[in-house]
Amino acid sequence: MPLRTLAKAATKISAVAGLCLALSAQAFALTDAQKKTLNDVNTYFNSVKTMHGDFVQFGPDGSQSEGKFYLARPGKVRFYYSPPAKLDIIADGKSVSVKDRKLATQDIWPLGQTPLRFLLAENINLQSEATIQNVIVESDLVTVVLEDKTTFNSGILTLIFEADTYELKQWTVTDAQGFDTSVAVYNVVSNGPTNPDLFRIDYLANTRQRQGN
């Protein structure tokens, strides 16, 4: 998928997420067709245990970065950012580590307090895990908008799937201030082999950094 198309999709979904954030206090009643779509998404997602491919990230400041990702459910993911980005993000099943190699810092949060938990749960059920704000079914895409006040930087999570296969294509996190961060994935291979070493967090990195200073 060309980067220009991904950027347009990110802009479109950011607008949808922003509208749902503004309407989040209102109850949203799912139709039978929307409930079936959610069930189909859940069924597909739960059939995928591993995944790897490329990603492009669009930041709230207009910045763009890219790299490769590796996912193993439940609970594990690794994002390798290509230069000049200096980030390395790892979830090991319990925690999420965000390492900034430029600043030589590492921040760690419980996985359950981050939006990644929606993608990495052992048994995914989007309807029970959060408040559904909208389900939009188009000819080519299915968009699911979630509100969850227990996640990191509570706000809106927008998930985008292929309409015919329900493969995950993109997600957008809209934080409490209304800022969007979008990640689009492509060249994805599902249920292939994976390496457990990809998902190891160095919990002593900050200690060694302080000792070195």
Question: pLDDT for 28-61, tens place per residue?
Answer: 688 999 999 999 999 998 999 999 999 999 999 8
pTM: 0.80
Pick the CATH number of 3-212 from 1.10.468.10, 2.40.160.20, 2.50.20.10, 1.10.10.410: 2.50.20.10
Most confident of 85-94, 99-108, 114-123: 85-94
- Angle formed at CA 48 by CA 43 and CA 51, multiple of 5 degrees: 150
Helix (H, G, I), strand (E, B) or coil at 170: strand
**HSE-CB for 81 with a 13 A CA cutoff:** 18
Question: In the chain, what percentage of residues exceed pLDDT 90?
Answer: 54
pLDDT score at 153: 57
Whether pLDDT at 135 is above 50: yes
pLDDT score at 41: 92
Using CA atoms, how far residue 127 sits from 47, 67, 84, 123, in Å, is: 17, 30, 38, 12
Q: Where are the domains of the chain?
A: 3-212
Whether pLDDT at 179 is above 80: yes
Question: pLDDT for 76-95, tens place per residue?
Answer: 999 999 999 989 999 999 99
